Amino acid sequence: MRDALGAVQSVLVLGGSSEIAVGVVEELAKGRCRTAVLAGRDLAALEPVADRLRGAGVAEVDLVAFDAADPASHQRVVDDVFAAHPDLDVVILAFGVLGDQDEFDRDPVAAAEAVVTNFAGGVSSGLAVAQQLRRQGHGTLVVITSVAGERARADNLVYGSTKAGLDAFAQGLGDRLAGSGASVMVVRPGFVRTKMTAHLTDGPMATTVEAVAADVVAGLQRGAHTVWSPAKLRPVFAVLKLLPRPIWRLVAARR
């Protein structure tokens, strides 16, 4: 449970190797966060991440096996984590695959697999977390989506559509939890410089993991339901969503 000053003391990361999520935990560790659970598919790969968080001041870092592409296992994993760590303050849903649209065009099965990971996995794990947060009567589920979900571009339409679906799901889940003491915060980053995007040219208003992490923590502190990172993307996409499709195609092609 958050302390008397509202500071986060414990966090679960679904997608424990996510650079953004790890950055958020490091930012929280500057305050009072001393317990973190990293859930991911490759536990060996999570060991250096755990060491990094311990170095940042997180006293207890546990690793849990979690496969985002296996929705049938999510309820059990989430329930086991909450049994071992009652009263978690924050859960960060941060897994996903970017993929390559040209490859998806050639291989619809690969596209469907990405959809299962990015969207179906988010639904199954998000609902499992919501059950636990409702039961304990407090806590925030942070769902990292993307501005790519605001209007899917032709060159990443599968990824964009999964983020659109995840964003809509998270908003509805937040409404469903209203009055329970638990909440959902949707985070919509723009282009973030990470290992996943290292092969891409920076998009407009490109940002860093550290900047997004700071925005997420600030959002948690003020009880926000939606965080844009950077914030200036909000008015930009308010306009972009209204562009006639022929104009949108031209704009999107230049990005």
Q: Is 159 a catalytic residue?
A: yes
Contact 62, 47 (CB under 8 A): no
Alpha carbons within 13 angstroms on the beta-carbon side of residue 69 total 8
DSSP-based helix, strand, coil % in the chain, nearest 5? 50, 15, 35
Asked if 255 contacts 204 with a C-beta cutoff of 8 angstroms, the reply is yes
Q: Identify whether the C-beta of residue 46 lies closer than 8 Å to the C-beta of residue 24.
A: no
C-alpha distances out from residue 200 to 188, 191, 206, Å: 19, 10, 11
Closest by Cα among 190, 252, 243 to 20: 190
Burial of 237 (C-beta count, 10 Å sphere; 0-12/13-18/19+): middle
Euclidean distance between the first and the last CA atom of the chain, given in angstroms as a whole number:
43
The active-site residue out of 66, 104, 159, 191 is: 159
Contacts of 75 (CB under 8 A, 6+ apart): 124, 128
| Residues annotated as catalytic (active site), given as ranges | 159
